[in-house]
Structure 1
């Protein structure tokens, strides 16, 4: 079970790094995958903010795992669960949202909560 949670957490971090990089490199493609459509007029400020947020969060998760700071990773995941919760509501607030675009955000909420609680419960305070 320990190995399963480790690899799920690692995959979560790596996916966030990928999503963040995609928002920075191909913002419109990333926006569509996120589940919204905005008129940017060539201004990708939102996309860059979202991209760096995800890139940082993913890197922090991966680094904490590699440094074997599981308790810290647990708290980061637990606190960070607010991000996919808000992302879910942002997508759902668009009148033309597609239900399938909500699933990744919902899965991210569940994963963050489960993995966060797991690491906090199974690691002792230093």
Structure 2
């Protein structure tokens, strides 16, 4: 179970780091994949904020796992699950599809919570 817990945590941390980088490097396609396309000139700043937030979450998760251990990473995962839960509501509230809201964002929150549970069990 330890290998599974660590592997899932690392994969999730790297995935959110990748998502953050994509929002920084390809903001409009990343926003469309998020479920709510970005429109208008000011959207670029908000997309950069999202990219920086996600990249920071990924780096923080990796650092916690490497330097503080599984328990600290478990608490981090438990708390960070709020982001995809919030993303679910944002997509639904702003005209995104239920498939994206639940199939991507809510499902991500569930996987992050499973990761937290596995890490707590280690």
Q: TM-score, normalised by structure 1?
A: 0.87
Question: 1:4-54: per-residue Cα shift (whole Å, max 9, x none)?
Answer: 121111110000010000001110011001000232225411101100110
Alignment: residue pair count: 121
Distance in structure 2 (CA, Å) of the matches to 1:71 and 1:12:
16
2:97 matched to which residue of 1? Answer: 98
2:58 matched to which residue of 1? Answer: 58
Q: CA deviation at 1:77?
A: 0.5
Q: TM-score, normalised by structure 2?
A: 0.89
Give the CA RMSD over aligned residues: 1.6
Q: CA deviation at 1:71?
A: 0.7
SS at match of 1:44: helix
2:41 matched to which residue of 1? Answer: 41
Q: 6-15 or 38-47: which moved more?
A: 38-47
Where does the alignment leave 5 or more consecutive residues of structure 1 unmatched? none
1:20 matched to which residue of 2? Answer: 20
| 1:10 matched to 2:10 | yes
2:87 matched to which residue of 1? Answer: 87
Q: CA deviation at 1:90?
A: 0.3
